[in-house]
A and B are shown apart, each in its own frame.
Chain A
Amino acid sequence: MNMNDSNSKRNISTTRTIRVGALARVEGEGALHLVMNGDQVEKVHLEIYEPPRFYEAFLRGRDFKEVPDITARICGICPIAYQMGSCHALEKAMGVFDDVTPEIRALRDILYCGEWIESHTLHMFMLHLPDFLGYESAISMAEDQGDTVKQALRIKKLGNTLMDVVAGRSVHPVNVCVGGFYKAPDPKAMADLLPEVEACLELMCNLTLFLAEHITYPDLIRDYEFVCLNPDEGYPMNLGGLISNKGLDVSQEEYGKAIEEIHVKHSTALQSIIKGRGEYLVGPLARLNLRHDGLHPRAQELLPKVCDLIGQQLPWCNNFLSLPARGIEIVHALALSADIIRNYQLPMISRVPITPRAGWGAHGTEAPRGTCWHEYETEADGSIKSAHIVPPTSQNQITIESDLRELARLLVDVTDEEAAMRCEHLIRNYDPCISCSVHFLKFSRDWKGDRSVPAPPVDTAGGAKRDG
């Protein structure tokens, strides 16, 4: 974050705009604009101005087999999520969803575990933890917490390695196809991963307990509607309908009808609401609150210790607790990976055969930052007639704004520098991927009416960021 150091106070009687530089450590480009009327928050806009990328449009006319490789390019952090959503939805469209074997499903789970491990570790330790510990960045944090950062890097690398082995490569994987995998991974290569998976599992249990014990989490309790997948067994990841804590209980196919996407002037990303109710929250906190019963026994064993250390039992209604929630999810992903590796044998088939047909299919999976839902209509030759993708950050966008509205009320007496920093911290609770939803955020706060407030800094936008 670049901004002027401006802590002196003065009296003003007119509207003013405070600008600070770009928000770092999120994916995508956006701005935050607060309008304050006295001590009241009049407007909160999370302005996503990154241009829309029209993936849904240029999927039209493409062969269905190309879709997982194209959608993987929507995001450099969560390509697996986009591949899994498109594969499942297109398998429904092609009428083969129920033919996918348990062995293929297990490979999909371990591949997704790799992405959760890599993405969560990157976010927790490189991007989010500096906020909690009072460092400007992971670089300054590493000077004091070098061992912790090195352990996190080891776990993060393992996540990438898992993806390399199962999907050919961790960046835009090449081995995933509609129906399964082009080639099943080599059993020896899988078995060779086990010692490192087990070692990282122990490391991550200790790191999660360390973070639960030594961090003071800001208090911002909210009445969220949590939404996540609801699998018959296990923790939300690839399968299941969708549920919420406020009565939503729909099939994957019905999800598109249960939510409504709306366009607002200040955002190039569509925003999502549950019809008839409004905003909702997807992501680690939703998954943990709604389906902690599905966690791997190693993560189940850890959870009460974490709850005791932070002094809060589930449900966690404070999204600053997304940090320990991610820690528990990494433990779950590592333990599940170890189980899958121990049971892995070369499957009889790596993918189910598909005959192209005209059809329709819809399916969402749990990306690291929340449910990512896909819907496709195909022509008789298997080409894409229509495509519709609802990324997690666009679903969370209104909830982020509501969180900011609540937080802004508590920040009227702090300097703009402090306010901006705390708002950025809050936004990073969501690990937002603005690139997915349509990179860096500007902050401005307008004041209406008489009040004593911190002096406005001049516009310091610029520096390292393209639009900062």
Chain B
Amino acid sequence: MDKQRPRTLVATCGNVMASDDAFGPMVARELRSHALPSVEVIDLDIRPAALLDYLPGKDGLILVDAVHAPGLEPGRVLDIDWFSPDRPGLVNDDTMSTHGLSLAMQLNLARSLDLLPPHVRLIALSIEPTRVGQTASEHLAAAVGKAVDLVTKRATYGSAPAAEQQHA
């Protein structure tokens, strides 16, 4: 195996101009300063259609994004298998997808093309509905730190530990 090749892809998504939807990009910025071995960090920003470009050859994918979910209090950080039926919808999926090619659609397409990594996790921040121009909430900074720790643990020790921890 090529030791130089990143095995885990961390892909973040979100809009830095729309309040707590900046969660993903801020996690990416923080992770880059950690220089995790065998981990490639990409910030898809508001252009999730680029995700497919980065999937070939990866053993694991960690998506970092914001979610809206009824009954889920804002500020809560989730760590959940992407294919779990309990996974809430992403802020950026569909509603802000680029030309309709959402993250979920791309992962389904990747599966059709045998490009889907074996392990796919979602680390997400539950946020209030946002609009462009709104400032970040008091939850954001703490959530970014928590997410960085979770991503580091997942990327270092694997994406599918024996004890599934759904909510951090």
A172 touches B112 (CB 8 A): no
- What sequence of 0s and 1s flags, for each residue 446-468 of chain A, a beta carbon within 8 Å of any chain B beta carbon? 00000000000000000011100
A439 touches B95 (CB 8 A): yes
The interface centre, meaning the residue of A24, A25, A76, A153 with most chain B CB atoms within 10 A of its CB, is A76
User: Which of B39-47, B73-81, B140-148 binds A?
Assistant: B39-47
- What sequence of 0s and 1s flags, for each residue 135-169 of chain A, a beta carbon within 8 Å of any chain B beta carbon? 00111001100100110010011001000000001
A28 to chain B: closest residue by CB = B99
Expressed in whole angstroms, the minimum distance between the Cβ of A461 and any Cβ of chain B is 14
The answer for the CA separation of A169 and B113 in the assembled complex, in Å, is 26
The answer for the CA separation of A26 and B100 in the assembled complex, in Å, is 6
Say yes or no: A139-B105 contact (C-beta < 8 A), given A27-B98, A153-B53.
yes
Whether A126 sits at the interface, judged by CB under 8 Å, is yes
Say yes or no: A139-B109 contact (C-beta < 8 A), given A77-B99, A123-B99.
yes
A171 touches B109 (CB 8 A): no
B112 touches A464 (CB 8 A): no
Expressed in whole angstroms, the minimum distance between the Cβ of B135 and any Cβ of chain A is 14
Whether B38 sits at the interface, judged by CB under 8 Å, is no
The answer for the CA separation of A150 and B110 in the assembled complex, in Å, is 10
- What sequence of 0s and 1s flags, for each residue 32-64 of chain B, a beta carbon within 8 Å of any chain A beta carbon? 000000000001111101101100000000000
Whether A440 sits at the interface, judged by CB under 8 Å, is yes
A171 touches B44 (CB 8 A): yes
B100 touches A171 (CB 8 A): no
B52 to chain A: closest residue by CB = A153
Say yes or no: A160-B112 contact (C-beta < 8 A), given A123-B99, A171-B43, A439-B95.
no
A27 to chain B: closest residue by CB = B99
The answer for the CA separation of A25 and B102 in the assembled complex, in Å, is 10
B99 touches A122 (CB 8 A): yes
Whether A53 sits at the interface, judged by CB under 8 Å, is yes
Say yes or no: A466-B99 contact (C-beta < 8 A), given A73-B17, A160-B50.
no
B94 to chain A: closest residue by CB = A464
B93 to chain A: closest residue by CB = A464
B95 touches A127 (CB 8 A): no
Which chain A residues lie closer than 8 Å to B96 at the CB level?
A: 439
Expressed in whole angstroms, the minimum distance between the Cβ of B151 and any Cβ of chain A is 19
A137 to chain B: closest residue by CB = B105
Which chain A residues lie closer than 8 Å to B102 at the CB level?
A: 464
A123 to chain B: closest residue by CB = B99
The interface centre, meaning the residue of B52, B100, B132 with most chain A CB atoms within 10 A of its CB, is B100
- What sequence of 0s and 1s flags, for each residue 84-124 of chain B, a beta carbon within 8 Å of any chain A beta carbon? 00000000001111111110010011001100000000000
Whether A244 sits at the interface, judged by CB under 8 Å, is no
Partner of A127, one of B43, B94, B101, B112: B101
The answer for the CA separation of A25 and B49 in the assembled complex, in Å, is 11
A157 touches B53 (CB 8 A): yes
A24 touches B100 (CB 8 A): yes
B101 touches A439 (CB 8 A): no
- What sequence of 0s and 1s flags, for each residue 43-77 of chain A, a beta carbon within 8 Å of any chain B beta carbon? 00000000001000010000000000000010011
Which chain B residues lie closer than 8 Å to A466 at the CB level?
A: 94-95
Whether A170 sits at the interface, judged by CB under 8 Å, is yes
Which chain A residues lie closer than 8 Å to B99 at the CB level?
A: 25-27, 77, 122-123, 126-127, 431, 433
A440 to chain B: closest residue by CB = B100
Interface residues of A in 342-380 (CB under 8 A from B): none
B133 to chain A: closest residue by CB = A58
The answer for the CA separation of A327 and B107 in the assembled complex, in Å, is 26
Say yes or no: A146-B113 contact (C-beta < 8 A), given A25-B99, A53-B132, A77-B98.
yes
Expressed in whole angstroms, the minimum distance between the Cβ of B16 and any Cβ of chain A is 9
Expressed in whole angstroms, the minimum distance between the Cβ of A175 and any Cβ of chain B is 15
Which chain A residues lie closer than 8 Å to B100 at the CB level?
A: 24-27, 127, 439-440
Which chain B residues lie closer than 8 Å to A171 at the CB level?
A: 43-47, 50
The answer for the CA separation of A160 and B45 in the assembled complex, in Å, is 14
A122 touches B95 (CB 8 A): no
The answer for the CA separation of A25 and B97 in the assembled complex, in Å, is 10
Which chain A residues lie closer than 8 Å to B47 at the CB level?
A: 76-77, 170-172
The answer for the CA separation of A377 and B72 in the assembled complex, in Å, is 47
Tell me the B residues contacting A by CB distance below 8 Å: 17, 43-47, 49-50, 52-53, 94-102, 105, 108-109, 112-113, 132-133
Sample of 6 further A-B pairs with CB below 8 A, known A138-B105, A171-B46: A26-B99, A76-B45, A126-B109, A149-B113, A150-B113, A171-B43
Q: What are some 20 contacts across the A-B interface (CB < 8 A)?
A: A25-B100, A25-B101, A26-B99, A27-B98, A27-B99, A76-B47, A77-B49, A126-B49, A138-B109, A142-B109, A146-B112, A153-B52, A153-B53, A156-B52, A160-B53, A171-B50, A172-B47, A439-B97, A465-B95, A466-B94
Closest 4 CB pairs of A and B: A76-B47, A157-B53, A466-B95, A142-B112
